[in-house]
Amino acid sequence: MARFFMIAAALLTAGLIGAGKAPAWAEDRQEHAEWGYGAGDGPSRWADISPEFATCASGEEQSPIDIAGEHPISSSVLKIDYARGQASIVNLGHTVQVKVAPGNMLTFGDAKYELLQFHFHTPSENTFHGMHFPLEAHFVHRDEDGNLAVVALMVRPGEAGALDLLPVPAKAGDEEALGKDFSPASMLPPELAYLTFAGSLTTPPCSEGVRWIVLKETVTASIETLSRLSEVLGRNNRPVNPLNGREVRESH
C-alpha cells in the first residue's frame, strides 16, 4: 500500500497528476436528462437537472472517495475470468467506453458478476491522500440480481501498455471495432490486490449499492496516449465525496 501512495506522490511531483478535488450505468448513459462536467451542468448541479438525479446530492454512500490511512483486512477473494471475444470502443460524449461480449466473469467473495463494459476518466476519480492519477479505468459488472460491482484501475505514465493499442474515437458517436479476439484481461495488472468499499455510480443517477474494488497495482501507458485521452475526454471526473462512516478494507 505504501508503494501505491509513493507512485502517486512521484506523479504529483512530476506534474502529471493533480492534488485536491479534482458512470455510470452500463449501457447508454445519454438516455437521461443532459448532464456534463461544466459549470452549469457539472457534479454540483446534477441533482438540480432532474429528480432522477436527487441521490447525487442526498446520497450517503457516494463515489468517488479519497483513500488514505490504514485499513482493516478484507477476507473476500477476488477472481477475474475474462475471455476473448468481440468488442468495440465508442465515444459516448461523457467518456470513451469499450463494449464487450458476454461471458467475462468476476467473483468477489460469494458474489459473481458479469462484465458489461469498461470506460475511462481523466484524471482519476478516486484519489489517494488527495492525489489523482492521470487516468482511471472503470470495469462495470452486474450480477444476476442487478447489483453492480466496479473494478477501478489506475493508469500512470510509463512504458507503452495495452491501453496504447486501443483506438480513441475523437467525436461523440464515433465507434471502432476491436475485432473478435479482444481480451479485457489484457488491460489488467498481473496482481489483483485491492481496496474495497460500498459506493455509488460516479455519474447520474448516482445510484448507491455499488461494490467498489480499487486495484492497488497500477498499469502504465505512454504519455502520448494519456494526453490523447485527456484531449478527447476533457476533465470528466467527479470530485470525491465524504466517507460518512463507511469502512475501506484491503486485501492481504
Beta carbons of 119 and 96 less than 8 angstroms apart: yes
Beta carbons of 220 and 161 less than 8 angstroms apart: yes
Q: How many CB atoms lie within 10 A of CB 2?
A: 5
Q: Which of 94, 119, 138, 141 is catalytic?
A: 94
State the amino acid at position 109 in one-letter form: G
Q: Which of 44, 25, 45 is nearest to 202 (CA)?
A: 25
Residue 132 annotated as catalytic:
no
Residues 6+ apart with CB under 8 A from 82: 104, 105, 115, 183, 184, 185, 188
Beta carbons of 220 and 155 less than 8 angstroms apart: yes
Q: Which of 5, 155, 135 is nearest to 66 (CA)?
A: 5
Reading the block at residue 98, the C-alpha cell is 469499450
Residues 6+ apart with CB under 8 A from 153: 136, 137, 138, 139, 187, 188, 189, 215, 218, 219
Instruction: Tell me the three state secondary structure of residue 157.
Output: strand
Q: Which residues are catalytic?
A: 94
